[in-house]
Amino acid sequence: MNMQQTIKATEAELEILNVLWTRGQATVKEVHEQLALTKDTGYTTTLKLMQNMLEKKLVNRDATSKKHVYQAIVNREQAQGQAVQRLIETMFNGSAMQLVTQALGNHQPNKAELELIREYLDKKTRE
């Protein structure tokens, strides 16, 4: 996928992509079983979403065997970056600071996470 191409995935499609990113590849049944651990969704809904994702070029499908195996085409970092940018623009009036403040206010990072945040900020300051 072209790095400049916008990833237009719905929330449900991002959940499926997350399963594929974690597993590398999976059948519709495997994706559905993973999603069913945390949400009430029908198999046919998962199938339809994955077919739509194939048309949108978010995934590819290996149809050489009886079971169609899907794999993400888009990478996690690009999708996360675009999702965060949309969130900043739509929910936080373009302010990354407001997003960070809200995130840290709702989730108390542990010491290791805080150290990584400090290192990241130090690196950004030096750049």
Note the pLDDT tens digit of each residue in 5-36. 678 888 899 999 999 999 999 999 999 999 99
**What CATH number should be reported for the domain holding residue 47?**
1.10.10.10
The verdict on 59 and 108 lying in the same domain is no
Q: Is position 85 within any domain?
A: no
Rounded Cα distance between 24 and 71, Å, is 6
pLDDT in tens, 53-94: 999 999 999 988 788 999 999 989 988 888 899 899 999 999
For 53, the domain range is 11-72
Q: What is the pTM of this model?
A: 0.74
Q: Is position 6 within any domain?
A: no
The verdict on 24 and 61 lying in the same domain is yes
Q: Which two tokens stand for residue 122?
A: 């130090």
**Helix, strand counts (H, E) of the chain:** 6, 3
Tally of domains within the chain: 2
Q: Is position 116 within any domain?
A: yes
Rounded Cα distance between 98 and 84, Å, is 12
